[in-house]
Structure 1
Amino acid sequence: MRRFALSFALALTLCPAVAHAWGHTAHAVIDRAAIQAIPEGGPVFLRRYADYIATSATLPDSWRGDAEGFSKIEEDPNHGWFREQFAFLKPIPRSRYAFIIALYKRYEAIKDKDPATAARTNVRWTGTLPYAAMEAYERLIVCMRGVRAAQAKGGDASVPEQHCAFQAIRLGHYIGDGAQPLHDSVNSDGWLGPNPKDYTRDRSIHGRFETRFVDAIGLTAADILPRIGAPAHQQGDMFDAVLGFLDQSGDRMERVYQLEQRDGFANPADQDVRALVYERTAAGAAMLRDMLCRAWAESAAPPARVTPGPLDFSNPRFDPETGSAPA
């Protein structure tokens, strides 16, 4: 037991806090397919920016460099959602800061009796992906209101359209990351903890699956467009929909490890690995398309009036620990 604890602690020090994303190919394909799948009546103006959005699909990864410490510490957690780390937390808070505070309280409660788990009970080792996605989504709604306002006046909508395109880059990246099963588990870069099935502990599994294999098969938007299906998520709570999307992806994490045991993703002709890549990238494109369309629909209505406001102490949902009522 002691030997396992030591090796587990060593594994933690060797693994990055939050894994990097799909390679550029998959991210760009997800974005292009999502935009191509937007139906008439949706935000079809984004088609004019498809090259910009796809070319910039991995831009958020560039905000995570070690040299840019302020940017890195804010951005790193936005790319992962390691569900095993916060199984104790139900329901998931509807506030980024309430989530972080809950993690810290848990850390304080277990740091002496379970230091190995406590070492990973923090925002860097859990991720904040659904919050980053929802933040980009709601900013997209605001930008789309600007597009509608310009269109209603018969004016030039190009500037608010560009604002929308930038937020689509951000949203597309986080949703694309969430579609990759290894972004939804602590086993993001090699298996951690007990390993009765002898899954690889090699950190390179992440890149071998999402970049080397994807590039080897020459993934394109045409490969996944037929798999996207009709728009969904046009009703109901979007935060819950994002959490469900991440759970669905995380449920496929062990499948990645099972397929890796064959030949380490070295065979681009492997139909099972291809099927998983197609299914996951199509799921990411579908979710992105749905969120773009839902944002456009919501932008048609004026902003909802919240009374009392989120910062008002009299708001029944006001959280004194964060200083605001949650979404």
Structure 2
Amino acid sequence: MNIAPITTNAYTPRLRSNSIEKEPVLPSAPDRFECGHSHDQGEVQPDWGFQGHGLVQEVAAESLPEEMPEFFRGATERLVGLASQPDRWKARDLNYLKEATAVDHFMAYEQIKGHDLPGDRFDYVLMVEREGINAPGQPPKWVGTLPYKVAEQYQNLMLDFAIWRNEGQSLPADNPRRKALEENALLSGGLLGHYVGDAAQPLHSTIHHDGWNRHLPNPHGFRTKKGLHREFETQLVAATASEDKIKERVAPARQWSGDPLNWGLDLIAESNSQVERLYQLEKDGDINPRHPSDEGV
């Protein structure tokens, strides 16, 4: 397999007068989390699951099989450092980047369950608009595109590994070209880990992402007040999660095959199956960050 390097012509874009002309102001956040690696990920919003993403990335990186290239298996620190990178793109001042990528972090699975998803993300957005399957109270785009992002980022990583094997693997370990190709793969892998982590979080898979949707029936009297998302993925994780506890519960690795879009969708469906249970745990007080029960943890 021969893959030619991609080249572009440099140019200087002209920005409209209302475009960003200064560095964005990002919200502050802790520069470390309690796990095996203390790695500064920059200033990211704490409400976006900073610690949880770091733990997910670390446990995944340290569980890689030996068939993975050595440079990748030995780069836990770098992969952890990328764990919350996509959440940095949500900074309010980065208006173009924020609007273009925000929908990649979730999918309201209830709205698309039973529909055949097209392979093209833009055909999918048109389908949502055409068939009126948007979430109640939300514009069509907020059904979300997370499984598409998982598939796209997986193919980025697959391509980077292919280029590394064809153009970099035979070079000396300290060759700049080889190091650059390895860094490309680490970047793609680190970003993929973020979106897989999102897909594993039940509140990223549902129309009830931050309190039960007030536009829908609520026969069990689940919480509708906002703030649950932050309490669950940030405060509860900070109070209870550790690398050792997570490793005890990690399931055996699965060998995926077929269409990567289906992998992303399967992850979303699995997470969505836990949504009502999560809300019941919240109702029973089992996942209160201040005093969670054994059942909730």
Q: TM-score normalized by structure 1?
A: 0.69
Indicate the residue corresponding to 2:109 in structure 1.
Answer: 83
Does the CA-based 8 Å contact 1:81-1:126 persist in structure 2?
Answer: yes
167, 177, 183: which one pairs with 2:198? 177
Q: CA shift at 1:44, angstroms?
A: 3.7
Q: Which residue of 2 aligns with 1:140?
A: 157
2:254 is aligned, of 221, 232, 252, to 232
Structure 1 residue 154: Cα displacement: 4.1
Count of residue correspondences: 245
Matches within 5 A, 1:222-301: 222-263=244-285, 265-274=288-297
- Of the structure 1 ranges 260-269 and 200-209, higher mean CA displacement relative to structure 2 is found in 260-269
* Equivalence map 1:75-224=2 (5 Å): 75-87=101-113, 90-107=115-132, 117=136, 119-120=137-138, 122-123=140-141, 125-149=142-166, 150-154=168-172, 156=175, 157-192=178-213, 193-217=216-240, 219-224=241-246
Which structure 1 residue ranges, 4+ long, deviate > 4 Å from structure 2?
Answer: none
Equivalent position SS for 2:169: helix
**1:14-61 superposed Cα distances (whole Å, 9 cap, x missing partner):** xxxxxx975111111111111111111123422332112213311101
TM-score (ref. length: structure 2): 0.76
Gaps of at least 5 residues in structure 1 are 1-19, 275-327
Q: Which moved more, 1:199-208 or 1:257-266?
A: 257-266
Kept after mapping to 1: 8 A contact 2:48/2:87:
no
- The corresponding residue for 2:52 is 26
Shift in CA distance, 234/190, structure 1 to aligned 2, threshold 3 Å? closer
Q: Relative contact order: is structure 1 or structure 2 higher (C-alpha 8 Å, sep ≥ 6)?
A: 1
Identical residues among aligned pairs (%): 28
Which runs of 5 or more structure 2 residues have no equivalent in the other structure?
1-45
Cα deviations across residues 68-90 of structure 1 (Å, max 9, x unaligned)? 22111111100011012334x62
Deviation at 1:269, TM superposition (A): 4.8
Opposite residue 136 of structure 1, the aligned amino acid is: Q
In structure 2, the partner of 1:14 is none
Pair 197,49 (structure 1): closer, same or farther in 2 beyond 3 Å: same
> SS state of the match for residue 284, structure 2?
helix
Task: Give yes or no for contact 1:22–1:180 (8 Å, CA) kept in 2.
Answer: no
Task: Quote the Cα distance in structure 1 between the aligned partners of 2:185 and 2:196.
Answer: 16
1:47 aligns with 73
Cα-Cα RMSD: 2.2
Distance 1:270 1:148 in 2: 49
d(CA) in 1 for partners of 2:273, 2:135: 24
Larger proportion of helix: 1
Partner Cα distance (2:234, 2:75) in 1: 25
Which residue number corresponds to residue 5 of structure 1? none
Separation (CA, whole Å) in 2 of partners of 1:92 and 1:62:
29
